[in-house]
Structure 1
């Protein structure tokens, strides 16, 4: 008997049993997307390379052997292209297809050629034990084929892992049922105290909520926009739509995609309050999973998203689809047949805009998903969507009469002069409570140092997440009690962070940022609109180059519209921004061109698709709460969950900053490429990472 696995307690699983279990599970995963036969055959073939003497010796301590290429070769001989890619990459990641002449390297063609040359074939016993059905034809459209391969790959690697995990460890507690009727009841219970509404503003919020619920009940799967003004109850309204829409269309789960972890934490807390902790999975790099069994369940759930509601980041969502690794791909089949809500949709990354939109259209068009682009400032994406998805017809879930209602116009925008830091601080000090948002960490730190005192706060990504969370909690308490509260921040506070200031100062930036900043002023409408001022200004020192096009597009709109909050102004802003950047800038690495390439370069695309700059590394701050985790990292025994918890104490730094810190012996290196700050004088409770050395030398931040 050929064996696939031997457990620590000596139990044995045959290759035949593992292949059949994996094939059945993968096929079940693929049913909603009608790729079940491709998934089934991939499951049957993925480990036929274990029908070899070399692998059987490996199970007993022998040398490592390649057991993936044999199955890929068997699929290739039978012209099963999807199966060949999936089997070849089920451990090492989806490979490039490669050219016909390839013989060296890791491309699929090169591996198949070398396997033929070296006669790398499994024992014929596999054909006596395993019967392959006839294969379905695959798409002739290379772009469609590339996504089909990714989906089948996801079904295969998740099924392979789950069957192996269950045999080796006995873990079966995975996933939670999507009980949409119970979720609907929980939502109704949560919102019932809102009716009848007691104020005009709350009455309008309830009308929006009722309208969006009715849309969810009647609409079929599709791609929709939901444009709700700041303060209009967007978070609960979008969840209500998703629940009713999932019920109406028999969808399997709800996925929330959000740009910033600060918003994710806030949104996940709201969803847990509404639906219960057991239904909500929060997945991002900084989520703090504990070590008890309940926490380990949620940690395992991040691997494949087999949960009713997932709240995650744009980076996690899009990179899962465009990276080639098996670990990141396991969840893709669970994205199909879901409601996917993109909160703060205006934050879709411009250099990857076209491949991101293409993915969304494919999920709707071919994988039974519904997508909702949800924001208070809807970007003008219709032209791009229509180009990639010609049959698309725009449908807005929130009628315009709600958007333009005066009750949502709670602030007045004023356009100030260009200030020196000293002059700006002088203006700021005329207020007991204010929020000032600037375009760089350096400017935020400089302004804060000029205004520091009791009731003054600084917020930026120079502070580790747990530190920012503590400061935000204190800010909210002071605002609630009417105490002095003066805050200078980078843009991290403006998208979705629930704070309410009587006045806001915003350095000129993109129009979407200006409007988001306005959402932090008079948020609850308790003050008069004419007294709630959002001051738009510039600094003499200017802004980083990365903001130049956004600022230019905003100035173009300011010349044409007195009311920058109007839909026409917002639409013009995004059209101008995309025009200034040019169509090539919306797909800077030509991902879509590569997706249409005959060689199907999965690994190349994976290397190039990076929503976060990859020239940074994480600097961990050693404080009482993190010292145990840092010690495990130093000893090389920290696991994935340890690093997730450690993320709450990390600050991203650029390579030049790291090198300067090394030069001053201020950091210790860790084996994963990140580092620990050992010069505690460089981190302060007020501004976080403050890269000014004792000799007065400063690193630009």
Structure 2
């Protein structure tokens, strides 16, 4: 390009950025991002190499308005590959289109694998001018990669890719905007001071229960300051204050060891919203990022600086405290696209709390545990499995982390479970739905949890009309939230409140009933249900009964192993809440399923046998893998949103808003509704409910056409 300055970008106002400036800026950021895991040299190399294809005549002409195609990412991958820099070659090759599968040497140039991309070298436009400005370093690798190729190489490459794509985006954004993105610079010390202010009124504690809670809190603070980074468990009974205690550990630990952020990983959005609100109250709204599929930062309606910062932070998690879902966290760790992977490097050097760790789905349990193990072993992460019902995961962690033991933050001498016992369990035997409803109607305030959506509707239909509620995923999220608000109001005011629900109410939903009925399930579900009984500890445990009953309909096959393991434990232990009973239950359940069931898609074996199968793994790893389709219902504000959709407003923001008015149904149910003419199917596979009569204010979407195999939540 003699006579021209080679450019990387041209802004709308005519300003231009040279390739050299962009490569150096990207390399500097990427190098900084990779420091927590020792990948600085590789990240700097990837940053310098990623856009050298832009030195070609074709790209420069395209940048100046000529409508021609110009592949600019393959060139950098080729240069890295020829220097035996495998990790950087993958990261550079995928920095726009996503990490490719490695493929094989027999792949053709038109294939999307790395081998295919490398074979395009001869057809690339000449880009040799880069050597006049850039020298690519021969980059070393962290010591843990100094062994034959394996899954650790794949994990590192994805982390390196994260550093590159985030640095590339941020450098480009800063040039285009004329200024760098505003960062939240709140220190862990400042957050620690806020927590101290929040808990200052708790001491000295009043009453035995509060005294024990404060002991747990103080122990977590001591452990945070005294323990070296690694793998921890926090086993605290319901009511023990584990949310604040785990935050106290995380902040004390991060402050002591120079860790950069705290990440909370929570299984369901029904819990995440209330926990995030607690953290915002303690630490300030400006320091907490809530990131999940149900939360929308609508910059069209609310373009305030704070909202803009939060919306941008969802892209890369550059915030001191992040609250997210297990789906978002683990699917990002096994993703191949830049939009999901940008955030990964910001997990390194963090404290990661896995709340309700027993909810990790069994079909992906081993890949999840392996990913946590990688973060702990090589990426300066302290991981905490935080739950009232600790799963028996130690054997799996010992397999993946043979040199690192799991350390319990709150041993039995501190956390005496009998102090927190707030319920008594009773076996109620088999019941017809009529008999069950009669017992429920005899209580003014009672919660009943059943295993299927069909059972929930059957039992609800038999309850007295006054003060009775139904809750299941056949109701859209907005509808469920409204029902929960009304339930809490009635419970607080002492009004009649009889609720029949599926298991969605178990996962940390903050409600307090004097009596609970739970259809036979796994012990973890039974104990979670018990957490909704006498939650505030205001009644004697002997008068707060959790009845375990056999329902009229057979349990779904999905539950058979959990129910079997639960019955085994219930027959051997009188105290179902004891650590011994809980540990035995999870051990029984994992033994029943076996290793194969804990990695249904064979993610780990694929990473061992294939050559960097990034794309294949991403396609297989879906933490919630249910064959459902979404039906948008015209309930409440959903009706107006559907009208906007009909008017042609089908953008990303509108669909995110519609998510609050969507119901997930199985394919057979969906097909029956469609055949009856009750749905209008959209291009994305979802549908709009055309017959509003099929959505009831009490029970949500009609199950008349369903197969009876309703979702268990």
- Fold match (TM-score > 0.5): yes
Change (3 A) 1:165 1:545: same
1:124 to 120, 128, 142: 128
Partner of 2:625: 613
Instruction: Find out whether 1:150 has 2:158 as its counterpart.
Output: yes
Q: Deviations over 1:563-614 (max 9, x none)?
A: 1111111111111101111111111111111222351111110110011125
Deviations 1:72-118 (A, max 9, x none): 111111111001100111111111111121115211011212x13x4
TM-superposition CA deviations, 1:268-304 (whole Å, max 9, x none): 0100111110000111100132332232321211110
Which residue of structure 2 aligns with residue 365 of structure 1? 377
1:557 paired to 2:572:
no
Alignment of 1:4-403 (within 5 A): 4-59=8-63, 60=65, 62-103=67-108, 104-113=110-119, 115-116=120-121, 118-137=122-141, 139-140=146-147, 141-170=149-178, 172-291=180-299, 292-293=302-303, 294-403=306-415
| Greater mean deviation of Cα atoms: 170-179 or 324-333 | 170-179
Alignment map for 1:393-432 (pairs within 5 Å): 393-432=405-444
Question: Judging changes above 3 Å, is the alpha-carbon distance between structure 1 residues 312 and 667 closer, same or farther for their aligned structure 2 residues?
Answer: same
Match of 1:535 in 2: 547
User: 1:459 — aligned with what?
Assistant: 471
**1:447-486 correspondence runs (5 A):** 447-486=459-498
* Distance (Å, rounded) in 2 between the aligned partners of 1:39 and 1:488: 54
Give the counterpart of 2:684 among 672, 676, 695.
672
Q: 1:593 to 1:309 in 2, by over 3 A?
A: same
Whether the aligned pair in 2 keeps the contact of 1:464 and 1:688 (CA below 8 Å) is yes
Root-mean-square deviation (Å): 1.7
In the superposition, relative to structure 1, how do residues 636 and 46 fare at CA in structure 2: closer, same or farther (>3 Å)? farther
What are the superposed Cα offsets for residues 454-478 of structure 1, whole Å, 9 maximum, x if unpaired? Answer: 2111111111212111111111111
- Structure 2 Cα separation of the partners of residues 689 and 270 of structure 1: 32
Structure 1 CA distance for aligned equivalents of residues 59 and 638 of structure 2: 42
Shift of residue 393 of structure 1? 1.7
- The CA distance in 1 between the partners of 2:653 and 2:264, in whole Å, is 22
Task: Sort the Cα spacing of 1:174 and 1:552 in 2 relative to 1 into closer, same or farther, 3 A.
Answer: farther
Are the structure 2 counterparts of residues 33 and 698 from structure 1 closer, same or farther at C-alpha, using a change threshold of 3 Å?
A: closer
| CA distance in structure 2 between the partners assigned to 1:36 and 1:537 by the alignment | 58
Task: Describe the SS at the equivalent of 2:405.
Answer: coil
- Structure 1 stretch displaced more, 142-151 or 401-410: 401-410
Checking the alignment, whether the CA contact within 8 Å between 1:287 and 1:647 is kept in structure 2 is: no
Q: Structure 1 stretches of 5 or more lacking a match?
A: none
Compared CA separation, residues 318 and 650, structure 1 to 2 (3 A): same
- Listed as ranges, the gaps of 5+ residues in structure 2 are none
In the TM superposition, structure 1's runs of 4+ consecutive aligned residues that sit over 6 Å from their partners are none
Tell me, in whole angstroms, the C-alpha distance in 1 between the residues paired with 2:331 and 2:647.
Answer: 30
TM superposition score normalised by structure 1: 0.96
- Equivalence map 1:571-650=2 (5 Å): 571-613=583-625, 615-627=627-639, 629-631=641-643, 633-634=645-646, 637-650=649-662
Q: Secondary structure of the residue that 2:214 maps to in structure 1?
A: helix
CA apart distance, 1:343: 0.4
Q: Specify the SS of the correspondent of 1:400.
A: coil
Match of 1:3 in 2: 7
1:196-239 alpha-carbon deviations (Å, 9 max, x no partner): 22221111111111111111111110100000000010101101
**1:512 maps to what in 2?**
524
For residue 410 of structure 1, report the CA deviation from its aligned partner: 1.0
- CA 212–298 in structure 1, closer or farther in 2 if over 3 Å, else same: same
Checking the alignment, whether the CA contact within 8 Å between 1:178 and 1:253 is kept in structure 2 is no
Distance 1:136 1:174, change over 3 A: same
The Cα shift of 1:639 comes to 4.3
**Secondary structure of residue in 2 paired with 1:92:** coil
Q: Which digits, 9 at most, give the CA deviation of each residue in 1:374-405, with x for residues without a partner?
A: 00000011101001110122311012134434
User: Residues 617 and 5 of structure 1: is their aligned pair in 2 closer, same or farther, counting only changes over 3 Å?
Assistant: farther
* Preserved contact between residue 83 and residue 138 of structure 2 (Cα < 8 Å): no
d(CA) in 2 for partners of 1:258, 1:171: 35
Q: How big is the shift at 1:123?
A: 1.8
SS in 2 for 1:76: helix
Asked whether the equivalents of residues 631 and 663 of structure 2 are also in contact (C-alpha less than 8 Å), the reply is yes
1:567 alignment partner in structure 2: 579
Provide the secondary structure at the position in 2 that maps to 1:613. coil
Is the alpha carbon distance of 1:612 and 1:174 closer, same or farther for their aligned partners in structure 2, counting shifts above 3 Å?
Answer: farther
Contact 2:454 2:703 in 1 (8 A): no
Write the deviation string for residues 51-78 of structure 1: whole angstroms up to 9, x where unpaired.
2232233331513432221211111111
What is the CA–CA distance in structure 2 between the aligned matches of 1:223 and 1:671, rounded to whole Å? 45
| Segment drifting more, 460-469 vs 669-678 | 669-678
For residue 171 of structure 1, report the CA deviation from its aligned partner.
6.2
SS in 2 for 1:417: strand
Does the CA-based 8 Å contact 2:174-2:181 persist in structure 1?
no
Length-normalised TM-score, structure 2: 0.94
Shift of 1:148: 0.9
Kept in 1: contact 2:237–2:417 (CA 8 A): no
- Cα deviation code 1:101-156 (max 9, x no counterpart): 1115211011212x13x431542111112111122145434221111101100000
SS in 2 for 1:401: coil
Deviates more, 1:70-79 or 1:633-642: 633-642
Partners of 1:215 and 1:652 lie apart in 2 by 43
Contact between 1:286 and 1:646, CA under 8 Å: does it hold in 2?
A: no
2:477–2:661 CA contact under 8 A, matched in 1: yes
Which secondary structure does the structure 2 equivalent of 1:619 belong to?
A: strand
Aligned counterparts of 1:676 and 1:629: Cα–Cα separation in 2: 11
